[in-house]
Amino acid sequence: MRRNVLPGLSLSLGVTLFYVGLIVVLPLAALIFKAASLGPVDYWSIISSSRAVASYRVTVLSALGATAFNLVFGLALAWVLTRYRFPGWRLIDAMVDLPFALPTAVAGISLTALFANNGWFGSVLSELGIKVAYTPLGIMVAMCFTSLPFIVRTVQPVLEDLDPALEEAAQSLGGSDWTIFRKVIFPLLTPALLAGLSLSFARSLGEFGAIIFIAGNQPMSTEITALLVFIRLEEYDYQAAAAIASVLLITAFVMLAVTNLLQARALRYTARS
Amino acid sequence: MKIRLDHVVKTFNTFRAVRDVSLEIESGELVALLGPSGSGKTTILRMVAGLEFADGGHIYFGDQDATDIPVRDRGVGFVFQHYALFPHMTVQENIAFGMKVSKVKREKAAIAARVEELLRLVRLERLGDRFPAQISGGQRQRVALARALAVDPKVLLLDEPFGALDAAVRRDLRRWLREIHDELGITTLFVTHDQEEALDLADRVVILNEGQIVQEGTPEQVCRDPKSAFVTRFLGDANRLSAEVRGGVAYADGAAIAADGVANGAAEIYARPGDLDWSAAGPGIAASVTRVLDRPGGRRVIAVTAAGENLEFDVEPELAVRAGEQGFVTLRRAQVFAAS
């Protein structure tokens, strides 16, 4: 190995690898191992059971919906927080982190109280014929709440670092505000947006605490995959729990790989020749 | 296009960045705005561009009052100090940007042809497919210039265009910019804090201090006839000696310099390092050498007078002079200003 000027490589590398192995790789390996002990036929029948498939559908669709909503709203929030200073700016900026800090169960209970038919939002919405609590829409609301900070916090620093001269240059070349956003700002935000997107989606896929209060948890309609895993676990059916969990794991992994690829593509221009 | 600034004022919060500046730039002229940082030169340039709006006064492009026209409709080409190239677009795409977003629709082929032409003009024919991160600083600045020229601006504005480049590249690029200007004949205004760059490049130099124009003229005029101590100091190294003016002559310790038109009383004599002569025997201003700096073309001597004032001057490379030696300095040429 080449001599390195920075000291402590072997020690820090050793500690890091040990830590990653113990905390990240080992549990995942155990999960795969447990699921693999089923044999392919059983494994397939468990993960393709109609109840499991229904849970995938509601989880993935809600997560997609929540992520799409957060993409727009999170980008807008990040934009406002970086571009403008207004009274209460600091408060709003701090509140963005609240979903990170708040115990998810607290979030779930408060959302349920708000959106229940007699709650503040729920009573108004039910008059309009919209039911949120105990429907997939409720799942989406909970997912939105818990994953909002990801998009805001990944986009915000990039937006802050954006050289104002880029926009001025585009203006001096005759670009309209919308053209400048579309052709200059948005492409430069894309890598950060993708990162935020994948984190937000992954968090939504795995979210448990905030959702189970508001979801109603009816098998086949409002039962999320994470809950199904939990139920199997409660039934001491560790193998089935591991099998279903492995589907979540693989989904998250594939998605991370895809967004990393997209990100690398979007960042092609930074590579030196 | 002729540009005229008429009593332009700009204040940021309480900082008076530009105080009542009036200036005319003739069509086809290349003018430098020269001043130290905080002198308001960049603010003036940005107001001409429309990136900043004047609090008072007017800016005319030809006969048209352009004071309130936004930058995108003003028809100026602006080159930024740090290039401001779009990092996610290739060199070609950067140059084509203005033509693509313009309200005037252009054929794809026409745009491509114009990009080719501009790449030739800035001598970057082979680099069209590169991204800005893949080319050098000097090349980036040339791309920025090509991009600004692509929209056929009436006026070209450059904000410290060579400020971020190293010395050799700067020199090349400014000769080259002069050539491009002479070829295209576009009215050009550029900002710099580097007096050498301004004198090298511009038809006319406008010197600014604290938001006001302190002197303007051709490089020859401002160099030969600086109107104030500030201009003298700012244009290049100058030795300063305290003096006393009596009846049109400035007297310093061991020197008497003609000072026509300077009022009696305390004054300052300014002399360039090249205008001082050194001799071991008098007459002259007595001084002792504190340091000798060897340079390729000669020797720079730093000496201190009896009054404790530092003098710097150049002597022949062969002259044997050492720190601690005593001698006399005479002034071949100097300027006298009343003490401020």
pLDDT in tens for each of the 340 residues of chain B? 899 999 999 999 889 899 999 999 999 999 999 999 989 999 999 999 999 999 999 999 999 999 999 999 998 999 999 999 999 999 999 999 999 998 888 889 999 999 999 999 888 989 999 999 999 988 999 999 999 999 899 999 999 988 878 888 888 888 889 999 999 999 999 999 999 999 999 999 999 999 999 999 999 999 999 999 999 999 988 999 988 888 888 888 878 888 887 888 889 999 999 899 888 887 888 899 999 999 888 899 999 998 888 999 998 888 888 888 888 998 888 889 988 7
A265 and chain B: CB distance < 8 Å anywhere? no
Q: Which residue of A has its CA nearest to B90?
A: A269
Count of domains for chain B:
2
CA B108 to chain centre: 39
Q: Do B80 and A169 touch (CB under 8 A)?
A: yes
Low-confidence ranges of chain A (pLDDT < 70): 1-3, 272-273
Q: Do B133 and A165 touch (CB under 8 A)?
A: no
Q: How many Å lie between the alpha carbon of A102 and the closest alpha carbon of chain B?
A: 38
Give me the DSSP letters along A151-216: HHHHHHHHHHHS-HHHHHHHHHTT--HHHHIIIIIHHHHHHHHHHHHHHHHHHHHH--HHHHHHH-
Are B321 and B286 contained in the same domain?
yes
A114 lies in some domain: yes
Strand pairing category for B3-12 and B15-25: antiparallel
- pLDDT for position A2: 63
Q: Do B86 and A184 touch (CB under 8 A)?
A: yes
What CATH number did the domain enclosing A210 receive? Answer: 1.10.3720.10
Are B163 and B298 contained in the same domain?
no
A273 lies in some domain: no
Angle, nearest 10°, between helix axes A164-172 and B137-149? 30
Q: How many Å lie between the alpha carbon of B135 and the closest alpha carbon of chain A?
A: 8
Q: How many Å lie between the alpha carbon of B213 and the closest alpha carbon of chain A?
A: 26
pLDDT tens-digit readout, A200-255: 999 999 889 899 988 888 888 889 999 999 999 999 999 999 999 999 989 988 88
A141 lies in some domain: yes
Are B67 and B159 contained in the same domain?
yes
Are B47 and B98 contained in the same domain?
yes
A229 lies in some domain: yes
Strand pairing category for B76-79 and B155-159: parallel
- pLDDT for position A49: 92
Are B75 and B99 contained in the same domain?
yes
A1 lies in some domain: no
Closest of B142, B151, B24 to residue B77, by C-alpha: B151
A224 lies in some domain: yes
Name chain B contacts of A165, Cβ cutoff 8 Å: 80, 82, 84
Are B135 and B66 contained in the same domain?
yes
Q: Do B71 and A168 touch (CB under 8 A)?
A: yes
Strand pairing category for B187-192 and B30-34: parallel
Q: Do B87 and A270 touch (CB under 8 A)?
A: yes
Select the residue of A172, A269, A270 nearest B49 (Cβ to Cβ). A172
Are B98 and B222 contained in the same domain?
yes
Q: Which residue of A has its CA nearest to B132?
A: A269
The domain of A228 spans 37-268
A178 and chain B: CB distance < 8 Å anywhere? no
Are B306 and B226 contained in the same domain?
no
- H/E segment holding residue B305: strand B298-305
A24 lies in some domain: no
Among B163, B196, B230, residue at a domain's last position: B230
A188 and chain B: CB distance < 8 Å anywhere? yes
Q: Which residue of B has its CA nearest to A182?
A: B101
Are B160 and B248 contained in the same domain?
no
The domain of B177 spans 3-230
Name chain A contacts of B84, Cβ cutoff 8 Å: 163, 165-166, 168-169
Q: Do A270 and B133 touch (CB under 8 A)?
A: yes
Are B151 and B250 contained in the same domain?
no
B78 and chain A: CB distance < 8 Å anywhere? yes
A79 lies in some domain: yes
Among B230, B249, B281, residue at a domain's last position: B230
What CATH number did the domain enclosing B206 receive? Answer: 3.40.50.300
Q: Do A168 and B97 touch (CB under 8 A)?
A: no
- pLDDT for position A1: 54
Among B52, B101, B155, B159, the strongest candidate for a mutation testing the A interface, having the largest count of A CBs within 10 A, is: B101
Are B262 and B221 contained in the same domain?
no
Among B204, B230, B256, residue at a domain's last position: B230
Interface confidence, given as ipTM, is: 0.85
Are B81 and B168 contained in the same domain?
yes
N-term to C-term CA, chain B? 40
Count of domains for chain A:
1
User: Is the distance from CB of A273 to CB of B134 less than 8 angstroms?
Assistant: yes
- pLDDT for position A53: 94
Type of residue found at B135: I
